Every structure is written in structure tokens, then in C-alpha cells.
Structure 1
Amino acid sequence: MNVKSSSFKNEDIIPQEYTCDGSDISPDLEWDNVTGAKSYAIIVEDPDAPGGTFIHWVIYNIKDNKLPKNIPKATKLSSMIQGINDFGRVGYGGPCPPKTHPPHRYYFNVYALDVELPEKHGVTADELKSMMEGHIIDKGVIMGKYKRR
């Protein structure tokens, strides 16, 4: 499954607007429509964080094969459910690596699922991964980088 964004290209720099140094809004994303997919889920991970992989976004039960930029930071948006990121907040939390670090990599993982998952509030990335187990029919990723000035 190919994943793309008009906000940044794969392996390119994520613009400041989508980070803690800017408006901290989610970028737009679009991916291939997968035959048989009943819903899609997204988990955004930074494997370069000092304490291990840091989760920036958990969202699932997406019906379309795209998301506009600036998804509101609310638990439920029509059918979509947003979980808790590692900032302890609901919704998207943009890149915010320590200023002394080299650029971090941010993986926007998109999962095509053969089901719509049960609505659960406060879901973490690990819980979502457990809920998706046995239901992932395709997966794609776009990776962006960010370094604070």
C-alpha cells in the first residue's frame, strides 16, 4: 500500500507547521484504496526518541483512504476514534525531539483492516495493535524527518 502526503515527501523534512515548533497540526495523508478493507488505522512512531519508540498519533476506524490536514484533537470524529499519544493527549502530537538531537524519523504507519474495530476510549498504540491482530490485510508507511533548531 502506497502512502503519500502533499505536506511532505517520503524521507523528507516534515514542515514546522506539523511540529511542536509550529501549529502542531496533523499533515494530510492519502493511501491506496485496499480491496476488502472495512476500515483503516494509523499509528505514528518515532523510534529515535531517547526512551525508546515514542507514539505521536493513534487513530482508527477511518472509512476513507485519506485524511485532510488538521484533524481535530477529539476522541470521536464521526466513525473515527483517536487514542492517547505518548504526550498523554488525545489526537496528533507533532514531532518535538530534544533540541540537542540529530533529526528523528517519524513513521506514519497506515493499516488496512478487514473489520471495523470496537469503539474504545483512551486506547494506546499497544492496545490498538492488539485489537488489529489478525485483521491487517495490508500496510503502508511514509516517513518524515525533523530536527529542532
Structure 2
Amino acid sequence: MAVLGTLLRNRRPDERNHAWNQANLFGPQSLTITSRDFSDDGTLPLKHSGSRVGGQNISPHLTWSAPPTGTSELLLVVEDVDVPLGANPAVHCLALIDETRLPRPHELPPGALGKKTPAPGVTLLRSFISRGYYGPEPLKGHGPHRYVFELYALGTSLLDRPDRDALTKTRPRRLLASLDAPVLARGRITGISQR
């Protein structure tokens, strides 16, 4: 498998296709995101990787600064921006967060994005695989992969829309491209994984 990774070493998605670079996801204010499990641009511990590479597929701890007044909910996007599978990064997790229902304000504990047992206040949307958090499983020999945890403070609720059921089934790239809720603030933290 390292041979394939080495052959594809220079293949990466177009930077313009990262969710962070989409015009409809720009926000005027910033959120600061941190984690007890990794530092920004630091290595993601193995337990947060997928089971095929020896990990436990546990989503990491995340905490963020208070969103601006008027925030209805938060959109969390986790992208592998280095996957060599086409023009778009792979969305490893997509979730809506209602802060009023979280166990602790501005914080997701480890495992909060699990498919079978998401934390209170977390609504899992469709990712490129299914629903819930899917940890890093980069191709062996492909080099470092950046897993970007992006948080967007939305001014209107997506879960209160009449098309909520269809929205929760929409493919991630289509959902992100069509998002029309105003983004009031955004922030990100990046973890690195390599095999």
C-alpha cells in the first residue's frame, strides 16, 4: 500500500475547494478552537484515527470561544484536505451543534461525534462515508495529511427549516455549497496524521 501512497504523493485536492475557502462560509468574526488532545498543526493521537490503521475512531476533545450574539447553531466540518481522491477534500464528519443542549458550554468531550452515541446537542449529518466521526486513515507513504476541524457560527438554524429531513441526508459537498445561513464567525484547528 505504501507504493500507491508514494505514487500519489503529489496529488492533493484544489485548495479552492476546501470548505474554509468557500465564499458562502466566510464570517466577519473569529472563533478560537483548542483541544486537550492535540495542538494546532500538531499530531493527532492514534486513538483518534480509524480502526483500519489501529485507532479507536474516537473524536477528539474540542473547545471554542463564545460565539457572537445571534448565533442559532454551530456547523462543524472535519475535512481531510490532502486526500488524493479528486478535486475535493474528504469530509470526515459534518454535524450541527445546539450549544444550549451541550453538557458543558462551548465544548465537545472526546467521542461526542460518535455515530451510535453522539453527545446531547449534536446532530450528525451525512459525511463522505456515512454519519458520525471517521478518524484519519491516510494512505501509507502519501505523506502528512491535514485534518481540519472547522466551526461555523450560523445566524439561522438549519434544523428548524421545513426541509430538515432532506438536509440531513444531503451529500456534504452539496450541503456546504448551498448553505445560505449567514455565518457570523468561524474558526479552525488542524491535526496532522501520517503513515
Same fold (TM over 0.5): yes
In structure 2, C-alpha distance between the alignment counterparts of 1:55 and 1:110, rounded to whole Å: 13
TM-score (norm 2): 0.69
In structure 1, C-alpha distance between the alignment counterparts of 2:34 and 2:73, rounded to whole Å: 18
Q: Which residue of 1 aligns with 2:146?
A: 105
Structure with higher helix content: 2
Let me know the Cα RMSD of the aligned residues. 2.0
Q: Which residue of 1 aligns with 2:169?
A: 122
Q: Which residue of 2 aligns with 1:19?
A: 49
In structure 2, C-alpha distance between the alignment counterparts of 1:131 and 1:32, rounded to whole Å: 26
Structure with higher strand content: 1
Larger radius of gyration: 2
Answer yes or no: is 1:83 the counterpart of 2:125. Answer: yes
CA distances 1:88-119 after superposition (whole Å, capped 9, x unpaired): 22100001101121010011000011122124
Q: Is the 8 A contact 1:113 1:132 kept in 2?
A: no
In the TM superposition, structure 1's runs of 4+ consecutive aligned residues that sit over 6 Å from their partners are: none
What is the aligned-residue identity percentage? 28
C-alpha displacement of 1:138: 0.4
In structure 2, C-alpha distance between the alignment counterparts of 1:6 and 1:126, rounded to whole Å: 29
Query: Any stretches of 5+ residues in structure 1 without a counterpart?
Result: none
Q: Which residue of 1 aligns with 2:97?
A: 61
C-alpha displacement of 1:124: 3.1
Please give the secondary structure, in 2, of the residue aligned with 1:145: strand
Please give the secondary structure, in 2, of the residue aligned with 1:129: helix
In structure 2, C-alpha distance between the alignment counterparts of 1:131 and 1:3, rounded to whole Å: 25
Q: Which residue of 1 aligns with 2:187?
A: 140
C-alpha displacement of 1:34: 1.3
Aligned length: 147
Q: Which residue of 2 aligns with 1:4?
A: 34
Query: Any stretches of 5+ residues in structure 2 without a counterpart?
Result: 1-30, 100-104
